[in-house]
A and B are shown apart, each in its own frame.
Chain A
Amino acid sequence: MRLLFNEVRSNKFKSLVLISFFIVLLGMLGAVIGYVYGSLLFGVVFSVLISVVYILISMYSGDSMILSMSGAREVTKKEFPHLFHAIDGLSVAAGIPKPKAYVIDDSALNAFATGRDPEHASITVTTGLLKIMNRQELEGVIAHEMSHIKNYDIRFMMLTAVLVGIVTLLSDFLLRSFLWGRRREKSDGVGVALIVVGLVLAILTPLIGQMIKMAISRKREYLADANGALLTRYPPGLAGALRKIAKDPDPLVDRANKATAHLFISTPFRAHSGFIVNLFATHPPLEERIKRLEEM
């Protein structure tokens, strides 16, 4: 339990680092745009202001953004009593408040948790998963999500989804605006240098975003598997669930996208293989996770 406490602190710290990184990055982008269009200072101030506002919005309603982006809807106990019982029971086991329950109407087998802290958290599962899993397996999945909530993974992962999402959008926009700006600009030395910096930034940001997401997810999934098994005291439950997920013929969650993929318990896209895909994979291979659970 003490280890988990350290995990919480580390996640809060990483969230802060991510936020500062986001502000600096946007400030730099703002400086470049500002310079190209006339006022460097205005560009910096404006973009830092915007990024602070955006961070506040992300923190307080990032989870509802993610939920509506994924097409999740809140459900009542009447509709899925066993889902509610699993969430109730495991929140008691974890000693945290009861998260809200959401489902995505999708046949793919998947689940995720989001929110800014355990007091404001929700767990989402697909209806396909509810249909296929037995009670032990469903509890295994919910326990995995519950440990993401308990150690504040959800805060960091929510911020990554929302912040990296917007950076990707922005850099796309920037790339285009440079193509326009270059035609009008007289190419003096400083201007060209700044444009090069801007271009590099614009190309680098989505890459950096990918790296961050990768770094946070792979280790985190193993840890959440282990903590989840500790909550249910029954590793075969989650192992069985992962085995069913591995056999899922259609793992594509229709409304999942690159910004939200790392939130899910297993990657919500079709299976690919190859070096590049593995390098940028947000999730460790299911076989490896199952193996580790079986060894517990």
Chain B
Amino acid sequence: MNPLYIILIVVGVLILFVILLFNSLIRLRNQVKNAFAQIDVQLKRRNDLIPNLIESVKGYMKHEKSVLQNVTNARASVMKATTAKQKAGASNMLSDTLKSLFAVSENYPQLKANENFMQLQEEITGTENKIAYSRQFYNDIVMLFNTKIQTFPNNMIASHLKFTAENSFEATAEEKKNVKVKF
């Protein structure tokens, strides 16, 4: 066979490989973006529920001002956060303050019997779970994406195609330290 043909075939196969890799990476990166948006949806949903929660417990928890204040502060910091790491840290903080709010609410039998409060508690617990699941899904996809661009031979091409590793939705040690739970 003519060596020219061999070279042409090799080049053709290489081009095909790059095209397929590029497309699958684009697909994965879009999935990463979509998964991140899913987390945002759930974070926003929880933030929307909190004012109602504060409203419904305010009347009962007169001596727990600091608990309520912590929740409100944490909610504000979730809204301010922009990067994945900041959001993860703020979200963890909010989860912890909500946990302590629900723990404290155990001391108020009338509050626990309140229909509106019970509904809100179920709604917030459900949303907390969804946040956890959407984070899990996001981290899974990010790991898949990162593994794909970092393994051989993809790593030789991916960097030239401007694909860089994505951050997983995890709080750094420093952000974890900021979480203070007061009882």
Contacts and interface: CB of A to CB of B under 8 A. Distances in A.
Contacts of A92: 38, 42, 130, 133-134, 137
A162 B141 CA distance: 36
Given A1-B140, A92-B38, A81 B133 contact: no
Contacts of B129: 85-86, 89, 139
A184 interface: no
Contact of A95 (B126, B127, B137): B137
B139 to A, nearest CB: 11
Interface string A111-138: 0000000000000000000000001000
Contacts of B125: 85, 135
Contact of B137 (A81, A84, A85, A93): A93
A88 interface: yes
Given A81-B122, A82-B122, A85-B122, A233 B136 contact: yes
Chain A contact residues: helix, strand, loop or mixed? helix
A94 B141 CA distance: 11
Interface string A226-269: 00000101000000000000000000000000000000000000
Instruction: Output the residue of A92, A94, A135 with the most chain B CB within 10 A.
Output: A92
B35 A85 contact: no
Size class of the B contact interface (CB-based, 8 Å): 20 to 34
B126 A90 contact: no
Size class of the A contact interface (CB-based, 8 Å): 10 to 19
B119 interface: yes
A94 B136 CA distance: 9
Given A1-B140, A95-B137, A233-B136, A89 B126 contact: yes
A179 B134 CA distance: 61
A233 to B, nearest CB: 7
B133 A90 contact: yes
Given A1-B140, A1-B144, A92-B134, A81 B38 contact: no
B64 interface: no
A51 to B, nearest CB: 38
A108 to B, nearest CB: 25
Nearest to A82: B122
B35 A81 contact: no
B126 A88 contact: yes
B123 interface: yes
A89 B130 contact: yes
Interface string A135-176: 100010000000000000000000000000000000000000
Interface string B89-129: 00000000000000000000000000000010011011101
A87 B144 CA distance: 24
Contacts of B133: 89-90, 92-93, 231
Nearest to A139: B129
A85 B126 contact: yes
A171 to B, nearest CB: 46
Interface string B25-39: 000000100010010
Interface in A10-51: none
B160 to A, nearest CB: 25
Contacts of A95: 31, 35, 137, 141
A88 B130 contact: yes
Nearest to B143: A1
Contacts of B122: 81-82, 85
Contacts of A81: 119, 122-123, 126
A1 B137 CA distance: 11
Contacts of B140: 1
Interface string B62-78: 00000000000000000
A107 B35 CA distance: 38
A81 B123 CA distance: 8
A93 B122 CA distance: 19
Top 7 nearest A-B pairs (CB, nearest first) are A85-B126, A93-B133, A89-B130, A89-B129, A89-B133, A92-B133, A92-B134
Given A81-B126, A92-B133, A94-B137, 18 more contacts: A1-B144, A81-B122, A82-B122, A85-B122, A85-B125, A85-B126, A85-B129, A85-B130, A89-B129, A89-B130, A89-B132, A90-B133, A92-B38, A92-B130, A92-B137, A95-B137, A139-B129, A233-B136
Interface of A: 1, 81-82, 84-86, 88-90, 92-95, 135, 139, 231, 233
